[in-house]
Structure 1
Amino acid sequence: MPKKPVYDNESIQSLKGADRVRLRPAVIFGSDGIDGCQHSVFEILSNSIDEARQGYGSEITVTRYLDKSVRVEDHGRGCPVDYNRKEERYNWELVFCELYAGGKYNNDSGENYEYSLGLNGLGLCSTQYASEFMDVQVRRDGYKYTLHFEHGENVGGLGKEPYKKKDTGSVFHWKPDLQVFTDIDISAEYYMDVLKRQAVVNAGVTFHFLNETEPGRFEQTDFCYENGILDHARELAGEDSLTAVQLWQSEKRVKDRADMPEYNCRINVAAAFSNRVHVAEYYHNSSWLEHGGAPDKAVRSAFVGQIDAYLKQNSRYTKGEGKITFQDVEDCLVIVISSFSTQTSYENQTKKAITNKGIQEAMTEMLRHSLEVYFIENPMDADKIAGQVLINKRSREDAEKTRLNLKTKLTGKMDMANRVQKFVDCRSKDVNERELFIVEGDSALGSVKQARDAGFQAVMPIRGKILNCLKADYDRIFKSEIITDLIRVLGCGVQVKTRANKNLGVFDINNLRWSKVIFCTDADVDGFQIRVLLLTMVYRLAPALIEEGKVYIAESPLYEITSKEETYFAYNEQEKAEFLKKLEGKKYTIQRSKGLGENEPEMMSLTTMDPKTRRLIKVNPGDAEEAARMFEIMQGNDLDGRKEYIAEHGNEYTEELDVS
């Protein structure tokens, strides 16, 4: 028997030194994968940003090396590393080797940092602990200090030498450790995104990104927004926005609870309205709040409340009409908020959301007041905003009605044999073997029905030419019985999105009733057109069927060649030539293959239905895209494009012309 684990007084242990991070990186960085590794880089960058925001240095350089190491250089005051009489230890030991040691615990006094990204005294130490190596250079107080660490341990102590130049700053060069993180290959795109965001919320600070593309060769990209979030919001909204970007600013003392101390909070907002784009970005102490938190709640409350009040005051709602929602506002809102506070409650060390009630209340009040004044001072803008929000609201409500109608119309259990005209089901209930043949007309239905294996092959005829789904709007599409019947038979619903990107469909590929959906049309011009129309329909309404490899085309033979001994079916001109060569000196007859409805059941089984002898072509996403493109050229509104295509390619189709 396996030995039972012992759990006694000797079982309890504590992690010490670097092991506190190296063995449990996810506790500090949120992950031991690439996300955690990225956050470790941001911890170092944060310190340089805090210095620049305090007015010490206006340039920060980040270098990404081929060996996956990183270098961050700033021109701040330089990290204190010399002896600390108060603590009776060297500052470098506290900062680089002691968790919860730093100079940002008393921010409300403004003594060291008024507003800072770093709060907990974890960043430098935890990143150093999680590094394969870290080299540090500090220039301050007329000295240049150097430190070297390997796998979380200092090697060689503190180097110190006189420095005669007047510049100050810090340089950190380190490599995240693969013994700590499962992945350290941080992409250039991550750096570009982070540095651009930091340039946005740190007006006037220039961020240089150097990316080593081959040994010793670097590509440089610079980011700087002189007017910070105002410039960025203008960039997002574009020149054709519904309203110009507004900049609102406020600073006040707040508290998170009545019995808690006050702290300072600064709020900067850049906002505009657009009928083309919608973006919301929130930052706190220059950290991007990916999950929002307090700012998101404030925006939802203030914008919905104030715009709703305006609509009521100006009688813009129709009688009995319901109130707007945030979605209606969000769909036309471009907003960037950059807030700062001397005390901050983040959800965790990764700083992706803040929870301060005081900040949320101050922001809500500020936004409500700013919107109220803006609407009074800019009545034309207020009218445009109200109109667009109402358009969004009514479009959303119409979309929801359409979605519910689609769900009722296209899904649910039903007796398809009775509800879908002329559909012929198969006996098998096993989705993994069931095949659906979509055929062209009643005559083809008859021959395919006789030739099929009724155990697992079902048949659905298309009555007439199907609607061009590429050009028609959804209301028209779903009024077509051919299309709605076909969707019922498929069983999986539709993937339908409006221009506003609202999902109207109820789609679940797991509800598809077939292993294969096979288009079976004549090998002539009309048959090809019906095939393209079917492909276009699936491409627009249920593209996942193509992506998952569920859609096929049954390849019909072009020629039937009959000799005394045997009958051959040629699917192209090359095969025809090969068969004729084989029959040299023999008597044979050759004729173009008939339409599906004229073929004998035996021939249909052999060439189209029997899995052992038929030829099926799987439709790939590129095939459907090309079919849609060609359909647009040949039957769309681009007359010049059609003429150009025919002039260039018309000679390729002369053999297909039926002229005498």
Structure 2
Amino acid sequence: MAAKKTAKEEYNADSLSVLEGLDAVRKRPGMYIGTTDSQGLMHCLWEIIDNSVDEALAGACTEITVTLHTDGSITVEDNGRGIPIDKESKTGLSGVEVVLTKLHAGAKFGNSSYNAVGGLHGVGSSVVNALSERLDVEVDRDGNTYRMEFHQGHPGIYTDADPSAPSPQSPFKATAKRKATELRIVGKYADKHTGTRIRYWLDHEIFNSTAKFDYQQLVDRVRQTSFLVPGLKISVIDEAVPDSDGERSIVVEEDSITSDTDTLAVNIADSEASDTAEDSAYADDGEKSTAVHDESELEEIEIDEAEDTEADEDFDIESSAAQEAARETALRQAKKNIHPRVQVFHHEGGIVDYVDFLSRGEDISDIWHITGQDTYEEETQVVGANGDLHAQMIERTCDVDIALRWVNDYETIVRSFVNVVETPGGGMHVDGFLNSITKQVRKNVEANARKLKISAKDSNTKVERDDVMSGLVAVVTVRIAEPQFQGQTKDVLGTAPVKPIVTKMSDQQFGEMISGSKRGFKEQSMRVLEKIVGEMHARIQARKTKEVTRRKNALESASMPAKLSDCQPGNDDIAELFIVEGDSALGTAKAARNSMFQALLPIRGKILNVQKASTAQILANKECSSIIQVVGAGSGSTFDVKQSRYNKVVMMTDADVDGAHIRTLLLTLFYRYMRPLITEGHVYAAVPPLHRIALAGKHKGEYIYTYSEEELGIRLAKLREQGIAYNEDIQRYKGLGEMDADQLADTTMDPRTRMLRRIRLEDAAQASEIFSLLMGDEVPPRKQFIIENADDFDRTKIDA
């Protein structure tokens, strides 16, 4: 007789669980929003906003308002047609309840109400409802305002003690399952007014503790949408910001790009002229620190503090005064950095203006525009008269809108969209575009080989896609009905017929532009081809550099610049390259350095301003090419930081205005062509002292170095207070060459006693804007920046 099965071993129909309605969403939220961290939290907001944007794409909405409430809830309001309020025949539920409680329900599966839209899976609003602790919806239609409320996706009624301050903690009475919830009329409106308001509180039972709302991400997305839907006005209101800040309470970005330079607080004097009060204050970790700021904390410069200096014990006196000054600076900065209460975005220029907004650096070409419309056939499931699905071939329309330009940079910025939904992973539309422009560029490079000074027969001089994309700024958009995406998060467009349509249009229109056959494009096209060929040469040269041994032995040292005083091989993990200003400083530095791991490369004065130069000019420039060659890791898009011959690259210039200018030029070179050196923390600025105090009496033979006029005053005051005698003839250094080898080693080169500023980059896009502003060809914006920030500059820090 068989043994009786235990309950654990039994498996039958009763073991199956059936999750109804939105319970499946709460059980497996990742299937619908990707993650339950910050990314998923923001994705929920995009779903609600995209529904309002779809109304704008349908021509029924002109304004959207996103309000961030102080309790963490968010309201999205539009003046579209309003969610239908009548009964849906099959379910007997109102249109509002169907949209917010039924997955795959909506008006976007046919072609009657919507054509090219972003929210196409029909799960957006209902998923957000399921993942919200509370969701309130109000619809303005037929002269009335209709309202319905939900708790974790279930309809019902909240009883708020104060209707003006609704809360998820208020008492909630759920509607019985399988019964319709009546829409309540809570107000009156003019008959012609329509719209929808959705306010929701995300459920902390679903989202993890690391999920955080990103205001800047919201603003970027809203701005992006205002470009993609010309004429649509989108407002962002943050109720957490007091409405009492004068002109900073509202910022309007309309018709033209506003850079908000009044909110930038870039203390460029720190990297150009002298040290700020922060330079003399210790951080908690024992390092000195100072910063070049903007709204996103662009760069932070850390200073490796000397470990064993005789004067370390005296730093406490300066800290209090310097920290107080730094605190006041931080308060001023915080006031500037706070975002406005209301930001309004309204652009009429479309993606042409968007490319202009995204562009950084000097323009190589104007913005080129590719537009057109074509059709394709696609088999899809359609709903028949009896409600059944069946396959049918239908004709689709594909609208293509592409804007592009090249700038004097190696960074590539390509943004792609389908019906205003961004596709970060690209897809068929991007593949078609890039394939086309690469093919057309190769064709025209071969046709202009003589002008471009290359051999068309040399197989090694073939343009690759990376060469074409270097410095390319493009926005690629298509509008199609029912696009096929890879996954609910819509990262990649998978509708195959789109690719040949985009390729065909790009071949024809871009081909005319790059060949110069289209009127007004001849000069621009040649500049673009020269830039691309320059990138090709840089890539080929970088490959050749990688093929040789990174460290040169004595027999091979001739391949390095003759003026390089290299260090001994075998110390790659600690090797340091000092870029030294002037021959006089070089002589002293040779005697001061530790040749085991410290190399010296002198430069003559101010190097080429690479912000204004072409790739060919940079490679032809002796100083720039020497720096690139000595670092040994290539340049531009081919730069490989792992191939760098040195762990630290130190800019050692005089502590005056000219030295600061040289540092800025060097930083521009590193930022534009060797950016990973900065992003991974390998670029430093030496901090030579400005003064040397010679002590007297029993301390004779001892010296104290100071790095600013403020620090000098504090030091002298402390010496007088302690009764320590010193020589009144205080030495003021005008340049590195004035120091002897011991002084230079102690103050600037010896790791045990020196100070270095480490350059770090946090926000490449904003940093690019600042470099373009300060070092580019456009003089009026730079002049305006100086005027607007003149009050923040400390004139006492300018060398006499």
TM-score computed with the length of structure 1 as normaliser: 0.69
Q: CA offset at residue 354 of structure 1?
A: 0.7
Partner of 1:168: 194
Partner of 2:757: 619
Q: CA offset at residue 373 of structure 1?
A: 6.7
Q: CA offset at residue 391 of structure 1?
A: 0.5
Distance change (3 Å), C-alpha of 1:414 and 1:118: same
User: 1:325-336 alignment to 2 at 5 Å?
Assistant: 325-331=464-470, 335-336=474-475
User: 1:436-585 alignment to 2 at 5 Å?
Assistant: 458=596, 466-468=603-605, 470-471=607-608, 473=618, 475-477=620-622, 487=630, 493=632, 496=635, 502-503=636-637, 505-508=639-642, 512=646, 544=678, 547=681, 567-569=701-703, 571=705
Partner of 2:346: 224
Q: Quick one: which of 207, 215, 232 aligns to 2:234?
A: 207
Query: In the alignment, is the contact (CA less than 8 A) between 2:576 and 2:598 conserved in 1?
Result: no
Query: In the alignment, is the contact (CA less than 8 A) between 1:199 and 1:207 conserved in 2?
Result: yes
Q: Which amino acid aligns with 1:175?
A: W
User: 1:193-272 alignment to 2 at 5 Å?
Assistant: 193-214=220-241, 219=250, 220-226=342-348, 228-229=350-351, 232=354, 242-243=365-366, 245-246=368-369, 248-255=371-378, 261-271=393-403
Distance change (3 Å), C-alpha of 1:132 and 1:142: same
Partner of 2:108: 104
Query: In the alignment, is the contact (CA less than 8 A) between 2:74 and 2:201 conserved in 1?
Result: yes
Query: In the alignment, is the contact (CA less than 8 A) between 1:64 and 1:188 conserved in 2?
Result: no
Deviations 1:568-619 (A, max 9, x none): 44557888995999798xxx9x9999x9999999x999999998xx633233
Partner of 2:433: 299
Q: What SS is found at the alignment partner of 2:50?
A: helix
Question: What is the total number of aligned residue pairs between the two structures?
Answer: 593
Q: Which amino acid aligns with 2:377?
A: V
Deviations 1:333-379 (A, max 9, x none): 66544322222111221223211111112222233344467789954
Query: In the alignment, is the contact (CA less than 8 A) between 1:25 and 1:32 conserved in 2?
Result: yes
Q: Distance in 2 between matches of 1:366 and 1:598?
A: 66
Q: CA offset at residue 194 of structure 1?
A: 2.4
Partner of 1:158: 182
User: 1:26-37 alignment to 2 at 5 Å?
Assistant: 26-37=30-41
Between stretches 205-214 and 218-227, larger displacement belongs to 218-227
Query: In the alignment, is the contact (CA less than 8 A) between 1:444 and 1:597 conserved in 2?
Result: no
User: 1:625-640 alignment to 2 at 5 Å?
Assistant: none
Q: Which amino acid aligns with 1:396?
A: E
Q: CA offset at residue 416 of structure 1?
A: 7.2
Is structure 2 residue 531 aligned with structure 1 residue 392?
Answer: yes
Partner of 1:499: none
Q: CA offset at residue 122 of structure 1?
A: 0.4
Q: CA offset at residue 383 of structure 1?
A: 3.0
Q: Distance in 1 between matches of 2:724 and 2:56?
A: 87
Partner of 1:644: none
Deviations 1:11-42 (A, max 9, x none): 87565554433343332112222222222112
Q: Distance in 2 between matches of 1:424 and 1:247?
A: 52
Is structure 2 residue 78 aligned with structure 1 residue 74?
Answer: yes
Q: What SS is found at the alignment partner of 2:393?
A: coil
> For structure 2, which runs of at least 5 residues remain unmatched after alignment?
1-7, 158-180, 251-341, 381-390, 610-617, 707-711, 761-766, 776-785, 787-794
Q: What SS is found at the alignment partner of 1:255?
A: strand
Distance change (3 Å), C-alpha of 1:235 and 1:555: closer
**How many percent identity over aligned positions?**
20
Is structure 2 residue 93 aligned with structure 1 residue 50?
Answer: no
Query: In the alignment, is the contact (CA less than 8 A) between 2:427 and 2:494 conserved in 1?
Result: yes
Q: What SS is found at the alignment partner of 1:57?
A: coil
Between stretches 7-16 and 223-232, larger displacement belongs to 7-16
Q: Distance in 1 between matches of 2:230 and 2:43?
A: 23
Q: CA offset at residue 255 of structure 1?
A: 3.0
Q: Distance in 2 between matches of 1:234 and 1:591?
A: 53
Distance change (3 Å), C-alpha of 1:568 and 1:175: same
Distance change (3 Å), C-alpha of 1:548 and 1:66: farther
Q: CA offset at residue 202 of structure 1?
A: 2.8
Q: Distance in 2 between matches of 1:215 and 1:592?
A: 52
Q: Which amino acid aligns with 1:320?
A: K
Q: What SS is found at the alignment partner of 1:210?
A: strand
Distance change (3 Å), C-alpha of 1:592 and 1:418: farther
Q: CA offset at residue 96 of structure 1?
A: 1.7
Distance change (3 Å), C-alpha of 1:506 and 1:52: closer
Q: Distance in 1 between matches of 2:669 and 2:537?
A: 20
Partner of 1:59: 63
Q: Which amino acid aligns with 1:341?
A: I
Distance change (3 Å), C-alpha of 1:445 and 1:25: same
Q: Quick one: which of 478, 490, 497 aligns to 1:351?
A: 490
Deviations 1:175-201 (A, max 9, x none): 223332345653443333323333333
Q: CA offset at residue 442 of structure 1?
A: 7.4
The structure with more radius of gyration: 1
Is structure 2 residue 475 aligned with structure 1 residue 339?
Answer: no
Deviations 1:315-347 (A, max 9, x none): 778542555444454457665443222221112
Partner of 1:121: 122
Q: Distance in 2 between matches of 1:273 and 1:375?
A: 11
Q: CA offset at residue 544 of structure 1?
A: 4.0
Deviations 1:378-408 (A, max 9, x none): 5444533542342123201221244245546
Q: Distance in 2 between matches of 1:377 and 1:460?
A: 51
Q: CA offset at residue 134 of structure 1?
A: 0.9
Between stretches 400-409 and 562-571, larger displacement belongs to 562-571
Q: Distance in 1 between matches of 2:599 and 2:44?
A: 61
Deviations 1:203-250 (A, max 9, x none): 433333333243677744433344644565677789988457546221
Q: Distance in 2 between matches of 1:510 and 1:480?
A: 15
Q: Distance in 2 between matches of 1:503 and 1:44?
A: 38
Q: CA offset at residue 264 of structure 1?
A: 1.1
Query: In the alignment, is the contact (CA less than 8 A) between 2:148 and 2:184 conserved in 1?
Result: no
Q: Distance in 2 between matches of 1:580 and 1:214?
A: 47
Q: What SS is found at the alignment partner of 1:192?
A: helix
Q: Which amino acid aligns with 2:753?
A: R
Q: Which amino acid aligns with 2:54?
A: D
Q: CA offset at residue 297 of structure 1?
A: 0.8
Distance change (3 Å), C-alpha of 1:90 and 1:405: same
Q: Which amino acid aligns with 1:619?
A: R
Query: In the alignment, is the contact (CA less than 8 A) between 2:136 and 2:148 conserved in 1?
Result: yes
Query: In the alignment, is the contact (CA less than 8 A) between 1:283 and 1:337 conserved in 2?
Result: yes
Q: Distance in 2 between matches of 1:143 and 1:592?
A: 82
Distance change (3 Å), C-alpha of 1:597 and 1:124: closer
Query: In the alignment, is the contact (CA less than 8 A) between 1:509 and 1:545 conserved in 2?
Result: no
Is structure 2 residue 423 aligned with structure 1 residue 289?
Answer: yes
Q: Distance in 2 between matches of 1:377 and 1:444?
A: 53
> For structure 1, which runs of at least 5 residues remain unmatched after alignment?
1-5, 497-501, 634-640, 642-647, 654-660
Query: In the alignment, is the contact (CA less than 8 A) between 2:140 and 2:194 conserved in 1?
Result: yes
